[in-house]
Structure 1
Amino acid sequence: MALDADEEILQDFLVEAGEILEQLSEQLVDLEQHPDDGDLLNAIFRGFHTVKGGAGFLQLEPLVNCCHSAENVFDTLRNHKRAVTPELMDAVLETLDHVNAMFDQVRSREEPQFAPQSLINTLDEYALPEGAAPAKPAAPGNAGQADSAADTSAVAAGEDPGDITDEEFEQLLDALDDGKQAPEKSAAPADDKGAGGEDSKGGDDISDDEFEALLDQLHGQGRFSGEVASSEVPDPDGEDNTDSDDKPAEKSEQSGGGDSDLISDDEFEQLLDELHGKGKSPAETAKAGAAGETPQKPAEGKPEDKQPEPAPKKADQAAAPATEAGKGGGGKPSAPARENQPPVETSVRVDTKRLDDIMNMVGELVLVRNRLQRLGNESEDSEMHKAVSNLDVVTTDLQSAVMATRMQPIKKVFGRFPRVVRDLARNLKKEIGLVMHGEDTDLDKNLVEALADPLVHLVRNSVDHGIEGPDVREKAGKPRQGTVTLSAEQEGDHILLSIEDDGGGMDPEKLRQKAIDKGIYDQDAADRLTESECYNLIFAAGFSTKDQISDVSGRGVGMDVVKTKIGQLNGQIEVQSKLGKGTSIRIKVPLTLAIMPTLMIMLGNQSFALPLVNVVEIFHLDLSKKNVVDGRECIVVRDKVFPLFHIKRWLVPSDTGSAEPDNAHVVIVAMGTKQVGFVVDQLIGQEEVVIKPLGRALQGTPGMAGATITGDGRIALIIDVPSLLHHYG
C-alpha cells in the first residue's frame, strides 16, 4: 500500500527526522559511556518526541507507537527513576533500528510496519520506575475505554493512536461544550457571546476566540498566554490571582512583562503532555469530558502543575477576550513580539541533480579557461593577458564556490561508527572505546557516500582482528579497554583518513606463511617480501588471518573490497603495524571526483593525463643505465629499486617497432605502498581536467578512467594507474 501524504510536508519530515535519527544513533552510544548526563538524556528524549510528533501529523501509527514507548523510557531515565543499563540500551538501540527501518519504508513511500509487540512491552517495562511491577492487566489495546487512566504505563502498553482525528476533536469540543453549559451556566452565555456568537455550536469551524476559551477551559486562564497575564495586572480583583502559589501562574506573570503571546519550547511540551497525557489518547480525553470530568483531568500525573482555582478565573474569563481585542492581539498573538522571533531560515533545499548539472557547467568553463590561457600565452597583447588572468581568478573562485555546495562533513560517515563498534564489541565480549577526530572535515558528497562501506570494513576489521580480549590485554600490561581511533584531515586537495587501534598488531612472519598456504606466493617469493609488502597481503582476494569463519570475518572478502573501492576513487591506502602495539591504516583520497589535477604527458603524438595523486616524482633518465632483474627492467634511484615500464608500448601500439631514444623522462607513480616508473616521451605540465566518461565503444578499456579536453583543444585519455598495471604489467 502506497503512503498517502502531502509531498511537501513529507519531504520536510524526511529531512528533519533523518537528521534527528542520525544524531540519536551517536547520542545513544555516548549515553552508555555517560549514563548520568542529564543534557544528553533530555536531548534523546526530545529527539524521539520530535520524530513522534512529525509522524503523528502524517498519521504514521507504527512510527508514533514505537517512538512513544522509547520516549516514555527516557522520561523515566531523566527523572532519575531508573538507571541506564546495557540491557536497557540493547532494547532502545533495537527500537532505533526498527524506527530507522520504518523511516526507510516511509522514504520509499510505503506504509511502515509495526515493531514487534514484545519489544514494545519490554520498553513499557523499562518505562516504569525501578522495582515497579509491570501493569500487565492494562496490556489490551482498549486503553481509550478506561475513564480513570491514571496509570501512564498501563496506557502506554496499549495501542497509542498518537494523533487526534477530526472525529475525536469534534467529540472533545462537544464534551467541553456540554460541561460548560451544565455546571457553569452562569458563565456560559458570556463566554459564548464573546467567543464566537450564535454560530459557535452549529458550525464545523471555531474562531480564534473560541479556541482561546477552549484552552482556558483546559488549563485555566493565563497559563501560557502573556497577554492574559498582563491584562490581569490592573484588575481590581487582582488579590484572587495572588492566592495561587503554583509555578505556572508565576511563569505567566513573568512572560506577560515581555508583552508577548509566544510560549517557550518547554511550555509547549508541557501543553501537549497535559492535552493528551503521557500515552493517553485524545479520544479518552473526550470520553472523560463526556462523563462529567473536569477538563483539567489529563494533568493529574503532575502534582506541581495543578490548575488554579476555577472560581475566580471564570469571573475573569469573559473579560479576557475583550481585553485582548482592545489591545489588538486577540487573533494575532505573535504580532507584538515580532522583534523577538527567531531569524528567518536562510537555507534552501536543492536537488543534488541540479548541483551536479551546475558542477558540469563549471567543468566546461574550466576547459574554456584552460583553452584561453593557452591562447593567451601565445599572444603578445598585454590586454589579452590581463583579461585572461581576470577570467582565471573568477573561474577559480566560482569553481571553489560550486564545489563547496557539494561538500558535506565526513561526520555523516563517522556518525554510524559508534553504534558499529558498540554492537560488535558486545558481540565479541570485548571492551572497546571509539575516538573520532576531524569530523567536520568536508569532502565531495559523492566521496562521502562512496567511503561509507570501505570505512565500515576497516573499523570492523580493527575491532575483530586488532583489539584483543580484555583478559589478554590485561596479561600484556595494557588497559582492559582497547581504543579505535578514527580521524580525518585535509591536506591540500586531498583528504587523509586513518583508522588506528592499540591492539596486538600484525606478525609479518604469520602473514608470509598464510600467503604460502593460500598459494599466493611460493616460499622464495614470500621470503623476499618486505614487512610493508607483508602487511599489504591483507588486501589480497581470499586472504584472511582468521582460522575460523564467523558472522563477522574470516572469508577474506572485506579488505579486497576496500582496496578495489579506494582504487576506484583514485585514492591510496597504506598499512603500518607493530606487533604488540597496534595497526594504522591510512587512506588518501581526492577532495572531489569532478575536477582532477593531472600531469599531462605525451606518448608519441597522443596526449594522456596522469592523476597527480599518483605522481611521486619526475626525473630525466639515461636509459643505458637501467638494469634487468628477473627479466624485468629496473632503475635504482637513491638506493631504491623501481620497476620500469614503457607504457607507450601498451597505449600506442603503432610505435611498437620504433627505435627507443637513449634518454627519456621517467615519472614515478605510487599505488598504495608500491612505486613504479613510467617512461614517457614528453612532459607538458600540470593541468586541471574535467573527467568525461568514455563512449560506449571505449567503455571498459583497460587502464582508462575517462577522457578530457586539453587546453590546446585536443582530446586526452585519463590513465587509471592501478587498472593499467593490473592488465599490462
Structure 2
Amino acid sequence: MAFDADEEILQDFLVEAGEIIEKLSEQLVDLEQHPDDSDLLNAIFRGFHTVKGGAGFLQLNALVNCCHSAENVFDILRNHKRKVDSELMDVVLEALDHVNAMFEQVRHHEEPTPAPAELIAALDALAKPAAETPAVSKTAGPAPSSNETVASGDDNGDITDEEFEQLLDALQDEKASAPARAAGNGQPASADSSDGDDEISDDEFEALLDQLHGKGQFAGPPETAPAGDNKAGGASDADNSNSDELISDDEFEKLLDDLHGKGGSPTADSANASPAAADSKPATGPESGKADRPAESSAKHHRHEKSPAEGKGGATSAAPAMPSRDANAPVAETSVRVDTKRLDDIMNMVGELVLVRNRLQRLGAQSEDEHMHKAVSNLDVVTTDLQSAVMATRMQPIKKVFGRFPRVVRDLARNLKKEINLEMHGEDTDLDKNLVEALSDPLVHLVRNSVDHGIEAPDVREQAGKPRQGTVTLSAEQEGDHILLFIEDDGAGMDPDVLRRKAVEKGIYDQDAADRLTNAECYNLIFAAGFSTKDQISDVSGRGVGMDVVKTKIGQLNGQLHVESELGKGSRIVIKVPLTLAIMPTLMIMLGDQSFALPLVNVVEIFHLDLSKTNIVDGRECIVVRDKVFPLFHIKRWLVKGAAGEPEPENAHVVIVAMGTRRVGFVVDQLVGQEEVVIKPLGRALQGTPGMAGATITGDGRIALIIDVPSLLQNYG
C-alpha cells in the first residue's frame, strides 16, 4: 500500500468507502428479500466497483482483488445469468466481512490481510453463468450491442471491459456492413481489420470522431491535394501546428456518452451522412498516423472556429456547436469535512455562553433598567439559536445505527433456523453524534434478545396459528427534547410467573418479595445482573450479561427503559434518551445552603407534603399519593455534611423521580426552578463520587452538583 500517499486523499477514501461499505451490508440483506430488483443489483455492483477503484489508486491490492471478485459475481447477476440464493449470499456476505476487516486495517495504517484463497475461488466460481449460454454472434448489427450496453451499464457512466469489447465489436460490424464507404474511400473492405481486437485502428478512431463531431469534419488531407487548394493546405497547416495536442477530457467523456449511453451506432450516422462527407477520403498514409487524429480533433475543439484558409474557401459541413467551458464548470462544493474534536470544542464554548446568559438573566431580573432587560432578552434569543445551530452540526440520523441490524437479524435467524422479517421506521430521526455511537451496543443486545428469546421457531408459530415468519420492528421518533426508541416483536411474550420463579432461583428475591412484584416489575427483571430465562448457555444467550449491560449503558446516557409484554402476543421495549448530552435541562433544588441539580428527565411530579402523614412499610418511610405507595428518601442526610442530626421539619417539598418503572420520593428543602446547565466533569479529587454525574455553574454564579439518580439510590438507598 502507498501509505506515503497524500493523507488527505487517504482520508477521502476512508470516508467515501466507509459509507459505501456500511450501506452494502443493508443492501445485500435487502437483495436476499428482493432478488429480482435490478436497481439494487446495479447499486451493489457500483458499490464494490467504487471501493475497488479507490483501493486500486492507493495500491491496496488485497482489497482490490476481493472487491473485483465480488463485483464479477454481481455483473453476472445483473445480466440475469445466475439467480440470487441463500448460499450465494453467504459467500458474498463473508466477502464483505473480509472487506470490512481490510478497511479497518487501512484505517489504522496497516497492510490489509488478503482474503482466503478459498473465498476468492468461491466468488470466482459464482461469477460464472449458472448454465452456459450461447455466445452473442459478432455478425449481428451494432444497434442491439449498443442497447445491451446501455441496459447493463451502471448509472455513473463507468464502462466495463466487456462493454468496451462490445463497442469495438460494433465498430467491426459497422465496417463490415458498409463496403460502399470503404470502396468510396479507395480502400479494400478488409483493410480495417488488420489491427485485430486488441487495438483500435485509425479508421475505427476516425469513425468515433465522426460520431462525435459529424461526418468528414476531421478527415485528413487527401493524399494528392491540388497545389492551389487553399482550404486543404490551410487545414493541414493548422492541424500540423497543433499536432502535439491530445484529445481533451471533455471530448473523451462526450465520446463515451454518445456511444455508451446517449448516441446511436456508427452505422446509423454513416447511413445518414451526406454524399459529400461520404466522398471524403480519410488519410491512411504514413504521413498521418494515429497521433495526428487526436491532434486534429483537439486543435479544432480548442479553437471553436475555422482556420484562416477555411474562412476564405468556406467549409463543406459545419461542426456541431460545442458547449462552452463555463457551462461545464464544476459546481462549488456545498459541504466540508470537519474534525469532530473541533465541533466538540465549539459546543463547549456555546455551553460557556449559556452559563454567561444564565448569569446575565439573573442579574437582569434584579435590575429595573429597561434597556438592560431588552439586551438580555436579545442575548437569550441569539444564544438559543446558536445553541440549536451548533447542536444541529453534531446531529446524525439514527439510521447510522439501524443500518447494521438487517445483517445481524439475517445471520442470527439462519443460525437459529428461524424465519424473521425486520422492519425499521423513523430512520431519519436525528440525535447527538455521541448518543448514536453509545446506543449501538445496547440496541444490538435488545435486537438479538428479541430474535433469540422472543420469536418462536417456524413450526411452533404455525401450531399457535401465527405466520411462520416472525417480525421484529425497530423504530425511532422524537418527543420534545427526547428520542423514543422501540424494539417490538410478535413472539411468545413473557410469562410473569416464570420470571418470578427465576428471580427466586437466582437469589434476586425471596418468595414473599417475588409474589408481591407487579407484572411490570417482573418484566424489568430481565435487566438484573445474571438473570436469564434460558436453561442452556449458547453463543447467543444464557449468561444474563447482555441486558444488564443495556440497563447500565442507558442509565449512563440519562435514559429510561420500559418493558411491555403480553403472553403469546409479543413484547415491546421502550428506550427514552435525551437529544444531546452536552446541555441538560434540570430542576435546581436547595439542600441546606447548597445547590444541586436533578436531571429533568427523571422528574415525574412535585408537591408539598406534611411529613407527619408518612407511613412505615417494611421498615422504610413511605408516602401514599393517589393510592400509590412511594418510598421516601431524605437525600439531605446523604449529601450534606452534618445534616443527619438536624431535627426534621414538619413540611417539605417532595420530588417524585423515576428510574424505569420504579418511582421514589426525594425530600428537598427548597425548589429553585428549571434551568439548562452545561455538564462539567468532576475534578480528579471528586471523580467517581457515588451519586454525582458532574457539576455546573448556576445563574447566580454558584457551583451545583448534578445528581445521578440511579447511582445515588444504588449507593445510599
Output aligned runs, 1:371-410, within 5 Å: 371-410=359-398
Is residue 637 from structure 1 mapped to residue 625 from structure 2 by the alignment? Answer: yes
Aligned to 1:471: 459
- How far the C-alpha of 1:217 sits from its partner, in A, is 5.3
Could you tell me how far apart the structure 1 residues matched to 2:258 and 2:44 are? 18
Could you tell me how far apart the structure 2 residues matched to 1:494 and 1:218 are? 68
Quick check: 1:329–1:336 contact (8 Å CA) kept in 2? Answer: no
Quick check: 2:432–2:579 contact (8 Å CA) kept in 1? Answer: yes
Please list the CA deviations of residues 287-329 of structure 1 after superposition, one character each: whole Å capped at 9, or x if unmatched: xxxxxxxxxxxxxxxxx999999x9776596455334313416
Letter in 2 for 1:441: T
Could you tell me how far apart the structure 2 residues matched to 1:415 and 1:633 are? 48
Is residue 450 from structure 1 mapped to residue 424 from structure 2 by the alignment? Answer: no
Say if 1:543 and 1:215 are closer, same or farther in 2 by CA, change over 3 A.
Answer: same
Aligned to 1:326: 300
Aligned to 2:518: 530
Aligned to 1:562: 550
Aligned to 2:561: 573
Specify which of 212, 234, 244 is matched with residue 229 of structure 1.
212
Aligned to 1:543: 531
Aligned to 1:131: 131
Could you tell me how far apart the structure 1 residues matched to 2:66 and 2:28 are? 16
Aligned to 1:489: 477
Please list the CA deviations of residues 662-714 of structure 1 after superposition, one character each: whole Å capped at 9, or x if unmatched: 11111000001101100000000000000000011101100000000000000
Letter in 2 for 1:232: K
Three-state SS of the structure 2 residue aligned to 1:347 is: coil
Letter in 2 for 1:436: M
Could you tell me how far apart the structure 1 residues matched to 2:202 and 2:356 are? 69
Aligned to 1:92: 92
Could you tell me how far apart the structure 2 residues matched to 1:598 and 1:129 are? 64
Quick check: 1:231–1:320 contact (8 Å CA) kept in 2? Answer: no
Three-state SS of the structure 2 residue aligned to 1:678 is: strand
Could you tell me how far apart the structure 2 residues matched to 1:268 and 1:515 are? 73
Could you tell me how far apart the structure 2 residues matched to 1:117 and 1:480 are? 38
Could you tell me how far apart the structure 2 residues matched to 1:334 and 1:658 are? 92
Could you tell me how far apart the structure 2 residues matched to 1:236 and 1:222 are? 8
Three-state SS of the structure 2 residue aligned to 1:454 is: helix
Three-state SS of the structure 1 residue aligned to 2:350 is: helix
Please list the CA deviations of residues 471-520 of structure 1 after superposition, one character each: whole Å capped at 9, or x if unmatched: 00011111110000000011111000010000000000000000011111
Three-state SS of the structure 2 residue aligned to 1:59 is: coil
- In the superposition, the TM-score normalised over structure 2's length comes to 0.79
Letter in 1 for 2:124: D
Output aligned runs, 1:138-537, within 5 Å: 220-221=204-205, 229-232=212-215, 234=217, 261=251, 263=253, 318=292, 321-328=295-302, 336-340=324-328, 343-537=331-525
Aligned to 1:113: 113
- How far the C-alpha of 1:633 sits from its partner, in A, is 0.8
Could you tell me how far apart the structure 2 residues matched to 1:532 and 1:112 are? 50
Quick check: 1:425–1:432 contact (8 Å CA) kept in 2? Answer: yes
Which moves more between the two structures, 262-271 or 565-574?
Answer: 262-271
Aligned to 2:13: 13
- How far the C-alpha of 1:467 sits from its partner, in A, is 0.3
Quick check: 1:466–1:582 contact (8 Å CA) kept in 2? Answer: yes
Could you tell me how far apart the structure 2 residues matched to 1:109 and 1:223 are? 48
- How far the C-alpha of 1:58 sits from its partner, in A, is 0.4
Aligned to 2:275: none
Letter in 2 for 1:117: A
Quick check: 2:206–2:219 contact (8 Å CA) kept in 1? Answer: no
Letter in 1 for 2:481: D
Letter in 1 for 2:298: E
Could you tell me how far apart the structure 1 residues matched to 2:361 and 2:436 are? 33
Gaps of 5+ in 1: 134-162, 164-213, 238-258, 272-303
Could you tell me how far apart the structure 2 residues matched to 1:622 and 1:607 are? 23
Aligned to 2:22: 22
Is residue 62 from structure 1 mapped to residue 62 from structure 2 by the alignment? Answer: yes
Please list the CA deviations of residues 318-375 of structure 1 after superposition, one character each: whole Å capped at 9, or x if unmatched: 4553343134169xx9983542456322100000000000000000000000000000
Quick check: 1:219–1:307 contact (8 Å CA) kept in 2? Answer: no
- How far the C-alpha of 1:661 sits from its partner, in A, is 1.1
Specify which of 641, 652, 656 is matched with residue 664 of structure 1.
652
Aligned to 2:605: 617
Quick check: 1:32–1:84 contact (8 Å CA) kept in 2? Answer: yes
Quick check: 1:466–1:583 contact (8 Å CA) kept in 2? Answer: yes
Say if 1:334 and 1:582 are closer, same or farther in 2 by CA, change over 3 A.
Answer: farther
Three-state SS of the structure 2 residue aligned to 1:573 is: strand
Three-state SS of the structure 1 residue aligned to 2:508 is: coil
Specify which of 686, 707, 713 is matched with residue 698 of structure 1.
686
- How far the C-alpha of 1:635 sits from its partner, in A, is 0.8
Is residue 52 from structure 1 mapped to residue 52 from structure 2 by the alignment? Answer: yes
- How far the C-alpha of 1:268 sits from its partner, in A, is 11
Which moves more between the two structures, 319-328 or 433-442?
Answer: 319-328
Quick check: 2:446–2:547 contact (8 Å CA) kept in 1? Answer: yes
Quick check: 2:211–2:266 contact (8 Å CA) kept in 1? Answer: no
Quick check: 1:221–1:228 contact (8 Å CA) kept in 2? Answer: no
Quick check: 1:224–1:263 contact (8 Å CA) kept in 2? Answer: no
Could you tell me how far apart the structure 2 residues matched to 1:529 and 1:520 are? 12
Please list the CA deviations of residues 353-410 of structure 1 after superposition, one character each: whole Å capped at 9, or x if unmatched: 0000000000000000000000000101000000000000000000000000111111
Gaps of 5+ in 2: 134-159, 161-197, 221-248, 271-279, 305-320
- How far the C-alpha of 1:602 sits from its partner, in A, is 0.2
Output aligned runs, 1:648-659, within 5 Å: 648-659=636-647
Letter in 1 for 2:213: S
Which moves more between the two structures, 593-602 or 657-666?
Answer: 657-666
Say if 1:699 and 1:224 are closer, same or farther in 2 by CA, change over 3 A.
Answer: farther
Say if 1:114 and 1:219 are closer, same or farther in 2 by CA, change over 3 A.
Answer: farther
Three-state SS of the structure 1 residue aligned to 2:59 is: coil
Please list the CA deviations of residues 427-480 of structure 1 after superposition, one character each: whole Å capped at 9, or x if unmatched: 000000100001011101000000000000000000000000000001111111
Please list the CA deviations of residues 193-226 of structure 1 after superposition, one character each: whole Å capped at 9, or x if unmatched: xxxxxxxxxxxxxxxxxxxxx996599427877x
Could you tell me how far apart the structure 2 residues matched to 1:391 and 1:472 are? 64
User: Size of the alignment, in residue pairs?
Assistant: 594
What CA RMSD, in Å, does the superposition of the two structures yield over aligned residues? 2.9
Output aligned runs, 1:581-600, within 5 Å: 581-600=569-588
- In the superposition, the TM-score normalised over structure 1's length comes to 0.77
Could you tell me how far apart the structure 1 residues matched to 2:600 and 2:258 are? 57
Please list the CA deviations of residues 14-52 of structure 1 after superposition, one character each: whole Å capped at 9, or x if unmatched: 000000001100000000000000000000000000000
Aligned to 2:142: none
Please list the CA deviations of residues 262-305 of structure 1 after superposition, one character each: whole Å capped at 9, or x if unmatched: 6379859979xxxxxxxxxxxxxxxxxxxxxxxxxxxxxxxx99
Three-state SS of the structure 1 residue aligned to 2:473 is: strand
Could you tell me how far apart the structure 2 residues matched to 1:264 and 1:677 are? 74
Could you tell me how far apart the structure 2 residues matched to 1:44 and 1:720 are? 47
Output aligned runs, 1:76-91, within 5 Å: 76-91=76-91
Three-state SS of the structure 2 residue aligned to 1:621 is: strand
Say if 1:690 and 1:264 are closer, same or farther in 2 by CA, change over 3 A.
Answer: farther
Quick check: 1:2–1:110 contact (8 Å CA) kept in 2? Answer: no
Say if 1:521 and 1:312 are closer, same or farther in 2 by CA, change over 3 A.
Answer: farther
Quick check: 2:484–2:575 contact (8 Å CA) kept in 1? Answer: yes
